[in-house]
């Protein structure tokens, strides 16, 4: 159900500030922390002494101390010490490749030999001072693919987000979907419409009139394993739309990292990156607060959808043209997961 040989966002640096963090990713229970050199580490959340979760422990001099009997674990997964005991011969516990990059902690739940940090998608907005980013984290009880469906078809904005980013013109503008290698792009463009409340506020935040007709765009990009980046924005009508000069528009990238926890739950790292007034921290917080409320509405709908699907596993869901982005994204995932499993089976056959 999940790709394992890939990088997922596990947490943000503040979540492991001075303490360990327990998190399940793709059904793998991990504990994340910083080692003595400040580098991030991820181990299986299992003390080799009595099986207690190491995440219930604490940090001391860059080493993880089990909160049950005080066994000390090193960042490499090797037992370092224990009061009054000899534990040097204990076998190491599993260590997961972990990397800190772009303001996130990434982990690789699959074969460590295949973990290459170069495979982490480049995020221009994260390294460029001309961009500002603000976001948050939601724990949602739904299949990660339902969230991908949600983000690759924004028709639901008209209904789920009627008071913020929704408007009737969204469903009146047909989306266009295409595959680009292992990615999928769904685009929707609206011309000469009034901006909805969220985008009217964004225009004001950029010093632009918010009571004039605008052109609006939504360009959703899915990339495996479960990342969706959405270019969104509005420009004063007649100024070039998506290609308008910066002084005529307010545009951003909606950042969506969807990390599966189990088959029916996810860690959802959401945010918005913008390249106008990046120094305005008050504006960043205002946008972050507004976006958090919008994604909270998605949370409620997705969890209700998941409950319905679990209650009626025999029901077949209908597909429309607006579902093309999600459908094609799932096809790519299914192919990659099948290829990964075939490769693992071949390795196991050789080893036996």
| pLDDT tens track for 227-278 | 999 999 999 999 999 999 999 999 999 999 999 999 999 999 999 999 999 9
Instruction: Note down the domain range covering 85.
Output: 8-119
- Is residue 342 one of the residues assigned to a domain? no
Q: Is residue 61, in this structure, part of any structural domain at all?
A: yes
Would you say residue 44 lies in a domain? yes
pLDDT band at 176 (very low <50, low <70, confident <90, very high): very high
CATH number at residue 193: 3.90.380.10
Q: How far apart are CA 52 and CA 337, in angstroms?
A: 32
Question: Is 88 in contact with 20 (CB distance < 8 Å)?
Answer: no
Query: How far apart, in whole angstroms, are the C-alpha atoms of residue 208 and residue 201?
Result: 9
Flag whether 352 is in a domain: no
Looking at residue 72, which CATH number applies to its domain?
A: 2.102.10.10
Confidence band, pLDDT 50/70/90 cuts, at residue 126: very high
CA 352 to CA 347: how far, in whole Å?
9
**How do residues 190-213 score in pLDDT, each as one tens digit?**
999 999 999 999 999 999 999 999
Q: Are residues 99 and 194 both part of a single domain?
A: no
Of 60, 57, 59, whose CA–CA distance to 49 is shortest?
57
Q: How many residues does the chain have?
A: 352
CB neighbour list of residue 103: distance below 8 Å, 6 or more residues apart = 12, 13, 126, 133
Are 190 and 299 contained in the same domain?
Answer: yes
CA distance 83 to 118: 41
Distance CA 185, CA 214 (A): 23
Residue 198 lies in a domain: yes
Does residue 302 sit within a domain? yes
CA dihedral for 246, 283, 128, 292, sign (positive or negative): negative
**Domains in the chain: how many in total?**
2
Give 87's pLDDT tier (boundaries 50, 70, 90): low
* pLDDT tens, position by position, 181-191: 999 999 999 99
Dist CA 263 CA 337 (whole Å): 14
Q: Do 15 and 160 fall into the same domain?
A: no
Are 105 and 236 contained in the same domain? no
Please name which of 314, 237, 313, 246 lies closest in space to residue 278, comparing C-alpha atoms.
246
* 157, 145 Cβ separation under 8 angstroms: no
The per-residue pLDDT for range 29-44, each reduced to its tens digit, is 999 999 989 999 999 9
**Average pLDDT score over residue span 312-335:** 93
Domain final position from 119, 148, 164: 119
Q: Which residues contact 168 (CB under 8 A, 6 or more apart)?
A: 158
**DSSP string covering 125-192, please?**
HHH-TT-EEEEEEEEE-S-HHHHHHHHH-GGGHHHHTTTTT--HHHHHS--EEEEETTEEEEEEEEEE
Tracing tokens 């960043």 back to the chain, one arrives at 284
Taken in order 16, 22, 24, 29, is the CA torsion positive or negative? positive
**Range of lowest pLDDT (53-57, 65-69, 259-263):** 65-69
Could you say which of 59, 85, 119 is where a domain stops?
A: 119
Q: Would 248 be classed as within a structural domain?
A: yes
Claim to verify: residue 130 and residue 102 sit in the same structural domain = no
**pLDDT category, 83, cuts 50, 70, 90?**
confident
């Amino acid at each position: 159900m999940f790709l394992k040989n890939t990088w997922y966002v596990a947490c943000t640096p503040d979540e492991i500030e001075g303490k360990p963090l327990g998190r399940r990713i793709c059904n793998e229970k991990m504990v994340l922390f910083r080692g003595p050199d400040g580098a991030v580490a991820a181990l299986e959340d299992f003390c080799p002494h009595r099986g207690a979760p190491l995440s219930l422990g604490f940090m001391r001099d860059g080493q993880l101390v089990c909160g049950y009997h005080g066994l000390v674990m090193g960042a490499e997964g090797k037992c370092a010490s224990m009061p009054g005991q000899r534990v040097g011969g204990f076998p190491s516990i599993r260590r997961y490749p972990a990397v800190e990059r772009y303001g996130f902690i990434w982990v690789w739940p699959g074969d460590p030999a295949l973990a290459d940090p170069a495979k982490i998608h480049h995020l221009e907005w994260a390294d460029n001072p001309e961009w500002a980013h603000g976001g948050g984290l939601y724990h949602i009880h739904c299949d990660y693919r339902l969230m991908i469906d949600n983000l690759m078809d924004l028709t639901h904005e008209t209904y789920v987000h009627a008071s913020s980013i929704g408007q009737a013109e969204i469903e009146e503008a047909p989306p266009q979907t295409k595959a680009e290698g292992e990615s999928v792009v769904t685009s929707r463009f609206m011309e000469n419409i009034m901006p909805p409340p969220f985008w009217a506020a964004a225009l004001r935040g950029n010093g632009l009139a918010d009571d004039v007709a605008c052109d609006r765009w939504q360009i959703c990009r899915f990339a495996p394993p479960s990342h969706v980046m959405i270019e969104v924005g509005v420009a004063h009508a007649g100024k070039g739309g998506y290609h308008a000069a910066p002084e005529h528009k307010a545009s951003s990238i909606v950042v969506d990292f969807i990390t599966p926890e189990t088959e029916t739950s996810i860690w959802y790292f959401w945010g918005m990156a913008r390249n106008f007034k990046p120094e305005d921290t008050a504006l960043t917080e205002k946008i972050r607060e507004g976006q958090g409320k919008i994604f909270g509405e998605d949370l409620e709908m997705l969890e209700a959808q998941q409950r319905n699907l679990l209650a009626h596993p025999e029901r077949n869901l209908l597909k429309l043209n607006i579902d093309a982005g999600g459908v094609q994204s799932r096809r790519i995932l299914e192919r990659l997961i099948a290829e990964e499993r075939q490769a693992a089976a071949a390795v196991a056959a050789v080893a036996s």
